[in-house]
Amino acid sequence: MDAKRGDWVRIHNIVLEAGERAPNIPEDTQKVPLEFWNKGFLLNEEANIGDKVEVETYIGRKVEGTLVEVNPYYKHDFGKCVPELLYIGRQVRSLIKEDGE
Amino acid sequence: MTKDMSFEAVMERKGEIMKDAIGIDYDIFESGGIAFDYERMMRETGYTLEEIQKIQKETGVGNTPVLELRNLTKLARKHAPKGKGARIFIKDEAANPSGSFKARRAATSCYHAQKLGYEGVIAATSGNYGAAVASQAAMRGLKCIIVQECYDSRGVGQPEIIEKARKCEAYGAEVVQLTVGPELFYTFLVLLEETGYFNASLYTPFGIAGVETLGYEISMQFREKEGRDPDVVVVTNAGGGNLTGTARGLLKAGANTQVVGASVSLEGLHMASDTQFNKKSFTTGHTGFGIPFATWPDRSDVPRSAARPLRYMDRYVTINQGSVFYMTEVLAQLEGLERGPAGNTSLAAAFKLAQELDEDQIIVVQETEYTGAGKHIQPQLTFAKENGIEVLIGDPTEEIPGKNIILPKDPGYIETSEVDLNRIRRSYIRNCIRNNQIEKVSKEDLEFLVEDTKSSEEFVKSILDEFGVEY
């Protein structure tokens, strides 16, 4: 069992299948489904990743979907070192110094 | 219970869903043709400037500081002809509660939703506006749902958008995340219908009126500080609301200031393409929104957009991604302000435009936005590299969106590119003709087109002639 009732989870759904997409969108987008993610407290007694479940979102709406993550968290960060940026500060500082002010 | 929830059926109910969700009957402003009564719509459904100032004050929005960027001005003058190089100022909109000028738009929307008794608000946005609505909703005790276009079909999300999702959740909002595609609007309509919440659209009269205080404040602050209005205000342009609201505020103050729009050039990238979604390093402030919204503002999520940038734009320039990233770093290194990057589009443009102006002139960058994880030059360039984009140092005019990002070799390489406004006006008029299926325009339509394109009767007539439309 991956999650029990009340756990904070992330769910996934397909809103539109590949064949059902709007006609006026680029071909590459036509070929893939429109997917959906949301989060909420699990309403099922227990569930495993991949199960069809129902959740109550933070504002209290009930939404169904496939369980994909338990205790989801954000993984975005400040990135890796980008050496290409390192010249900028020194360059502009030295440029305004040359004025002799 | 037996409501048809298919894509077609929901889209068909768009009109009634919208009417319930905004509380505006747009039909009363329509003429039956191209024209509609814009000023009447703004007057009757919006709020006066004084009312908005009061509303925004209640939730701590507005009255942000104006800072003079002395070191940046010095740097611009190093690259300008003798006697040129206007003083550059920035309005630090990041000081608003949710970290961007969008709090102004959200403040009026949430106030209005509360006044009309809605239980909650919904906004379709992948940008700072989501956090702004979530923050204002929290202050007013409203529930909030934000709908984002966030991922490609691999499930890879733009770091900048993911950060904004985090921020919305931090304010207690529910965040619905979708993959690429304009059918986001379908999900948005379904949610509006299901919840009965208020559509806190970016494009309602309240939203745009909320930005008027920004333009008005600029004028007042400069009259107090410098004894006069600024010569030029540069506005990052995407959906057109920032520019429209700011320009209207300046006009209400009686300022005769030139309003310049600036967008990041993403020429060649299709905004609804799954494979190109993560090839861009800007999720807003770019031409992918700027051009389509200028040439057809009524593409928005309301029947008539209150954001009509062509009405107010005196000039429109584009700049490459690399120059905006460069200027973001410069702002931190020379002025001690870590802001942006997307909001720094107008800053990068202003740096170049200042070099055309005299030293005693004043140019204002009218916004900043907060910086955070994901929403910062390092993660965005890291992400770009991971998606096969080359990061180079050289001549930024050679940048190809989706292929590389070129940081300027030195500040002298920063260039803006002029957008031919007459070409944009022509496209707008063509869209008006096509989308309304019109063969002859009325006198009212003609007057409207002149106003809506800030052009002349002569110009509009020449375009109508070109398309064989009678007047």
Q: For residue B46, what pLDDT is reported?
A: 78
Question: pLDDT grade, residue B45 (50/70/90)?
Answer: confident
DSSP-assigned beta bridge partners for residue B176? B147
Q: How far apart are CA B426 and CA B449, in angstroms?
A: 10
Could A35 and B151 be called an inter-chain contact, meaning their C-beta atoms sit closer than 8 Å? yes
Q: Is the peptide bond before A26 cis (omega within 30 degrees of 0)?
A: no
Pairing of strands A8-16, A62-70: antiparallel
Q: What own/partner pairs with CB < 8 Å and gap ≥ 24 does A49-53 have?
A: A49/A2, A53/A9, A53/A11
Per-window interface: B 384-443 vs A, CB < 8 A: 385, 391-393, 407, 410-411
Whether A64 maps to a domain, the answer reads yes
Smallest CA–CA distance, residue A67 to chain B, in Å, is 15
Total domains, chain A: 1
Site of tokens 């499930």: B155
C-alpha to C-alpha distance for B36 and B65, rounded to whole angstroms: 37
Return the residue in B147, B334, B351 with the most chain A beta carbons within 10 A, the one to mutate for interface testing.
B334
DSSP assignments along B139-197, one per residue: HTT-EEEEEEEEE-TTS-B-HHHHHHHHHHHHTT-EEEEEESSTTHHHHHHHHHHHH--
Q: Does the residue A22 lie in any domain? A: yes
> Model pTM?
0.96
pLDDT at A99 over 70: no
Q: What percent of chain B has pLDDT over 90?
A: 92
* Nearest CA-CA distance, residue B67 and chain A, Å: 19
Q: Give residue-wise pLDDT tens across range B232-242.
A: 999 999 999 99
Q: Does B193 touch chain A (CB under 8 A)?
A: no
Higher-scoring residue by pLDDT: B45, B340: B340
**pLDDT above 70: percentage of residues in chain B:** 100
- The answer on pLDDT for B35 being more than 80 is yes
Q: Which pLDDT tens digit goes with each residue over B141-193?
A: 999 999 999 999 999 999 999 999 999 999 999 999 999 999 999 999 999 99
CA of A58 vs chain B CAs: smallest distance (Å): 6
The C-alpha of B271 sits at a distance from chain A's nearest C-alpha, in angstroms, of 9
- Determine, yes or no, domain membership for A14: yes
DSSP string covering A2-36: -EETT-EEEEEEEEE-GGGS-TTS-HHHHTS-EEE
Residue B204 DSSP one-character state: S
Chain A nearest CA to B244, separation (Å): 29
Rounded-to-integer distance, Cα B175 and Cα B126, Å: 10
Let me know: does B109 contact B121? Beta carbons within 8 Å: yes
pLDDT value at residue B32: 86
ipTM reported for the complex surpasses 0.85: yes
pLDDT on residue B1:
55
Range with lowest mean pLDDT among B5-14, B53-62, B342-351: B5-14
Return the C-alpha torsion angle B46, B49, B54, B57, nearest 10. Answer: 100
Q: What is the spatial distance between Cα B101 and Cα B104, in angstroms, rounded to a whole number?
A: 6
Expressed as residue numbers, the domain containing A41 is: 3-73
Residue A89 inside a domain? The answer is no
- DSSP symbol at B414: -
Distances (CA, A) of A67 to A4, A40, B158: 12, 10, 22
Residues of A with Cβ-Cβ distance to B330 under 8 angstroms: 88-89, 92
pLDDT tens-digit profile of B289-341? 999 999 999 988 888 999 999 999 999 999 999 999 999 999 999 999 999 99
DSSP, residue by residue, B107-119: HHHHHHHHHTT-S
Residue A91 domain-assigned (yes or no): no
How high is the pLDDT of residue B457? 97
B window 131-160, beta carbon within 8 A of A: 143-145, 150-151, 153, 155, 159
Yes or no, beta carbons of B373 and A78 under 8 Å apart: yes
Q: What is the mean pLDDT of residues B418-434?
A: 97
Which residues are CB-contacts of B369 (< 8 A; sequence separation ≥ 6)? B93, B94, B99, B100, B101, B128, B339, B340, B342, B343
pLDDT of residue B372: 96
Q: Quote the DSSP letter at residue B440.
A: B
Asked if residue A87 is part of any domain, the answer here is no
Q: Which helix (H) or strand (E) holds B362?
A: strand B362-365
User: Is residue A95 situated within a structural domain?
Assistant: no
CB-defined contacts A:B, below 8 A: 161
Pairing of strands B198-199, B232-236: unpaired
Taking 80 as the threshold, does the pLDDT of residue B215 lie above it?
Answer: yes
Q: Which residues of B touch A17 (CB under 8 A)?
A: none
> Which positions 40-99 of A are in contact with B (Cβ < 8 Å)?
40, 57-61, 74, 76-82, 84-85, 87-89, 91-93, 95-96, 98-99
Report the residue from B145, B194, B333 with minimal CB separation from A59: B145
User: In chain B, which residues have their Cβ closer than 8 Å to the Cβ of A89?
Assistant: 329-330, 332-333
Pick the residue from chain A with its C-alpha nearest to B143.
A59
Q: Would you state the pLDDT for residue B228?
A: 98
CB neighbours of residue B356 within 10 Å:
15
CATH number, domain with residue A61 = 2.30.30
Helix (H, G, I), strand (E, B) or coil at A64: strand
Interface test with B, best of A9, A14, A24, A28 (most B CBs within 10 A): A28
A75 with A86: CB under 8 angstroms? no
Residue A33 placed within a domain: yes
Choose among B112, B319, B325: nearest CA to B199.
Answer: B112
pLDDT tens, residue by residue, A37-88: 999 999 999 999 999 999 999 999 999 999 999 999 999 999 999 999 999 9
A34·B163 Cβ contact <8 A: no
pLDDT value at residue B468: 94
Q: Which residues of B touch A82 (CB under 8 A)?
A: 377-378, 381-382, 385, 391
* Section B418-447 average pLDDT: 95
How far, in whole angstroms, is CA B315 from its chain's centroid?
16
